[in-house]
Amino acid sequence: MISVSMKFKLLALATKYGVQIRKAVPGEVIVQIATWHQYEEKFLQIINDLQQDGAIKSIMANPRTGEVQIFYDESALEDHTVIRRWLRMLDSYSL
């Protein structure tokens, strides 16, 4: 589904931006972003783009804590088209 090189890129991005998964259950993920205040504008743009995606049900961000809660269609993680769309969107930010 996701190539090894893309997995390494995502891991590198998570490390660079201090992203930690706090909760991950089907249909919901909560992440803590340690660098939220340094890159807040970029993160808000990414959130805005994700909110326009039909597979995303809702996103709540707490700029004070850097925590982001995403509710998504559970079947999205099995849909190669959705995954590729999300990865292309992230790539568009040249992170």
Instruction: Name the β-bridge partners of 31.
Output: 21, 68
Question: 14-48, pLDDT tens digit by residue?
Answer: 999 999 999 999 999 999 999 999 999 999 999 99
Cβ–Cβ < 8 Å for 38, 44: no
Residue 46: C-alpha distances to residues 1, 4, 71, 81 (Å): 22, 23, 15, 18
Question: 56-85, pLDDT tens digit by residue?
Answer: 999 999 999 999 999 999 999 899 899 989
pLDDT of residue 1: 65
pTM to 2 decimal places: 0.88
Main-chain dihedrals φ then ψ at residue 18, nearest 5 degrees: 65, 40
Residue 30: C-alpha distances to residues 25, 81, 90 (Å): 9, 23, 18
| Structural domains of the chain sorted by starting position, each given as residue range(s) with its CATH number in brackets | 4-91 (3.90.1070)
